[in-house]
């Protein structure tokens, strides 16, 4: 299809300008023609290329994006406005989001500082998790398809470090669990961008949210080193190498990178999906809490993986049978982040025991589940006691108590971390933590005092239960065998 002219009107939309002309589509700024309803935000129109030399994937991917974009919600995707008839004039009108793509940061002349890399990657992980919760996997995440919203710049701030949420673009190669996979049915070949495609996509498995985690790992590697971990292969054989090959450790290219960050990057890039982060929420958690990242040899190594290891993986990959993935929402529900709130004082043995039992039941036998043990101390505590004048000493003291409490729950299949928060509002601190870290379950003790007044004055557990974005388990304190021997006859 030829370019639309400026000021032309198509189905009530006025073409303002062509912003981008790519290999698969043209993007225009548009507005409603006179008398049209104002949606309250700027709009963009995407029109697929349909020249005689263009491939069938242009039309198929356009159909996929039309179906998927209409059902996605939230601030991490553009809002859908309208779609044109494929038999007449195909187009897709959506919200125009102002901002800069990740490619902008990759094109900067100087290497990105670690804090900027972490903030960018964390924003991408939050966006990917929101997408996966809606049973959608992007499958084409790359720098051009990740945009960061513009934010007002405070006076004197650095424009390169000021950005808002990540917004994911271009869902033409995506997979939605509730819709037929047109790309898999009609093209019957691996589809994706060669530099960022995940190993399981290479062999035709679509719909696994961990494929997006792999793509985020590739972009993390780019931000850290300025290069792609696997290059840009253009043959099936070249693409298949990522089924068994590790990239060169980022710290070999850039020794100033922290070990914990290399640990995160290389975990995202594991050839087997089961060895990556189980969900984008877990990836965002590690990026937000670097002090909690368990650094292994993967994070400290600066040498390339030996040939013998790659050869063994090649043999394993040759005989591996990849299975279709379950629905993304179900898959991430199996690896929850569980928050347990431990009172900073006054907790009885019965309360601590009951909380531990409830947490053990919530984690169950789910490998990959994560436990976050949280204590909230009052902001005024550091100024009211002589012992607590050192904030570091105070936090270390409560962290030690949390580690001691969580020790019986230590399990090879689970990750456990401990956090001390400081706030004047305990309930709000727990709620903010739950929202910011995509917590699936909150476990906390039920109030056992003032039961009559709770109908008038909400306690901390009641406030959390009322406003939490996830499941809340209120635990009544009880000790096992507490009555043992109470009714025994006198042995004398």
Domain at 135, CATH number: 1.10.510.10
196 and 294 in a single domain? The answer is yes
Give the residue numbers spanning the domain of 370.
336-475
- Find, among 268, 424, 260, 432, the residue nearest to 339 by Cα: 432
User: Which residue stretches of the chain have pLDDT < 50?
Assistant: 388, 456, 483-484, 491-492
Residue 186: its pLDDT value, please?
58
Question: Are 140 and 279 found together in one domain?
Answer: yes
Q: Are residues 127 and 20 in the same domain?
A: no
Q: How many domains does the chain have?
A: 3
pLDDT for res 55? 59
pTM: 0.90
pLDDT value at position 148?
Answer: 97
How far is residue 379 CA from its own chain's centroid?
30
Specify whether 289 is located in the same domain as 382.
no
**Same domain membership, residue 324 and residue 340:** no
Residues 107 and 90 in one domain: no
Residue 86 shares a structural domain with residue 106: no
- 375 with 449, same domain: the answer is yes
Together in a domain, 378 and 414: yes
For residue 190, the model assigns a pLDDT of 67
| Residues, the chain | 492
Is residue 481 a part of any domain in this protein? no
Q: What is the CATH number of the domain that holds 91?
A: 3.30.200.20
pLDDT in tens, 36-61: 677 889 999 999 887 665 556 778 88
Q: Is residue 490 part of a domain?
A: no
Q: Give 73's Cβ-side CA count (13 Å radius).
A: 3
Q: State whether 347 and 326 are in the same domain.
A: no
Task: State residue 388's pLDDT score.
Answer: 46
Flag whether 485 is in a domain. no
Residues 40 and 13 occupy one common structural domain: yes
């Amino acid at each position: 299809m030829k370019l639309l002219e400026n000021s032309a009107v198509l189905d009530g939309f006025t073409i303002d300008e062509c912003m981008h002309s790519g290999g698969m589509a043209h993007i225009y700024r548009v507005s409603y023609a006179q008398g049209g309803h104002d949606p309250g935000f700027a709009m963009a129109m995407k029109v697929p290329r349909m020249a005689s030399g263009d491939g069938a994937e242009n039309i198929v991917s356009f159909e996929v994006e039309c179906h998927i974009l209409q059902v996605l919600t939230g601030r991490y995707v553009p809002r859908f406005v309208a779609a044109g008839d494929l038999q007449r004039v195909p187009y897709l009108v959506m919200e125009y989001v102002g901002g800069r793509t990740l490619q902008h940061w990759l094109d900067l002349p100087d290497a990105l500082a670690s804090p900027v890399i972490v903030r960018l990657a964390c924003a991408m992980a939050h966006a990917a998790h929101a997408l996966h919760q809606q049973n959608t996997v992007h499958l084409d995440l790359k720098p051009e398809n990740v945009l960061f919203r513009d934010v007002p710049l405070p006076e004197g701030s650095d424009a390169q470090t000021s950005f808002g949420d990540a917004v994911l673009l271009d869902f033409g190669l995506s997979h939605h669990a509730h819709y037929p996979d047109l790309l898999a049915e009609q093209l019957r070949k691996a589809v994706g961008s060669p530099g960022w495609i995940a190993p399981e996509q290479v062999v035709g498995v679509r719909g696994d949210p961990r494929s997006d985690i792999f793509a985020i790992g590739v972009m993390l590697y780019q931000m850290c080193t300025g290069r792609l971990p696997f290059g840009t292969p253009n043959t099936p054989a070249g693409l298949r190498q990522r089924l068994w090959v590790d990239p060169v450790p980022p710290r070999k290219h850039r020794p100033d990178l922290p070990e914990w960050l290399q640990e995160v990057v290389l975990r995202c890039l594991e050839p087997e999906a089961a060895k990556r982060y189980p969900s984008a929420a877990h990836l965002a958690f590690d990026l937000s809490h670097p002090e909690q990242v368990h650094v292994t040899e993967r994070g400290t190594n600066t040498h390339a993986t030996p040939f013998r290891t790659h050869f063994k993986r090649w043999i394993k990959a040759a005989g591996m049978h990849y299975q279709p993935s379950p629905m993304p929402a179900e898959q991430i529900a199996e690896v929850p982040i569980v928050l347990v709130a431990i009172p900073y004082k006054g907790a009885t043995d019965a309360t601590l025991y009951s909380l531990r039992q409830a947490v053990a039941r919530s984690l169950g036998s789910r490998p990959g589940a994560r436990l976050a043990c949280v204590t909230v101390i009052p902001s005024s505590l550091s100024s009211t006691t002589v012992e607590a004048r050192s904030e570091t000493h105070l936090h270390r003291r409560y962290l030690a108590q949390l580690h001691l409490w969580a020790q019986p729950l230590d399990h090879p299949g689970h990750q456990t971390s401990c956090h001390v928060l400081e706030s004047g509002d305990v309930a709000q601190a727990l709620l903010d933590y739950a929202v910011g870290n995509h917590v699936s379950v909150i476990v906390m003790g039920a109030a056992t005092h003032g039961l009559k007044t709770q109908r008038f004055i909400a306690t901390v557990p009641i406030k959390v239960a009322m406003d939490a974005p996830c499941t809340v388990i209120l635990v009544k304190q009880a000790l096992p065998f507490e009555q043992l021997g109470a009714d025994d006859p006198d042995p004398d």
